[in-house]
Amino acid sequence: MKDKFDMQELLKFAEQGRLTKHALGTMLVPEARRQFLESCAAIEKKYTDDCAAMKDPCLESGCSVEGEICLQPLLRAGTEYHKAYAAEWAKLFGDEENRLTSSAGIAVTDHPLKA
């Protein structure tokens, strides 16, 4: 596997939902990472709330995570929730001050981010 990706490859991977929340977050400076993780929590909560609203709980006794985040709707969503994370990440990563220069073994070249 390559250990260096150019900016366009990185953005493509993110947009395709191929990068996890952890992978995306590790490319951000701490303050931007906190904002990103808060956005991810809101995404997870929406998936959980939408699932609960369907009134078809995973368990016969009802939803086991009322008021919490549930993994089941995220698993059912497949890469869609990773794509939602990537959309939030891209907003922060677009500002060069929010980027770490190298993280999680991925070195990103200094190409400017193209909108």
Per residue in 77-91, pLDDT (tens digit) is 999 999 999 999 999
Take residue 29 and report the two structure tokens written for it: 């400076």
- 108 falls within a domain: no
Going by C-alpha positions, the residue among 19, 31, 37, 38 that lies closest to residue 99 is 31
Residue 16 within any structural domain of the chain: yes
Residue by residue, DSSP assigns 70-97 as -HHHHHHHTTHHHHHHHHHHHHHHTSGG
Mean pLDDT of 95-114: 60
Residue 68 lies in a domain: yes
Higher pLDDT, 88 or 112: 88
DSSP tag of 114: P
* Model pLDDT for residues 18-64, shown as the tens digit of each residue: 999 999 999 999 999 999 999 999 999 999 999 888 888 777 777 77
d(CA 82, CA 87): 9
33 in any annotated domain: yes
Whether the pTM exceeds 0.75: the reply is yes
- From the list 16, 17, 19, the residue with the least C-alpha distance to 106 is 19
Specify the number of domains making up the chain: 1
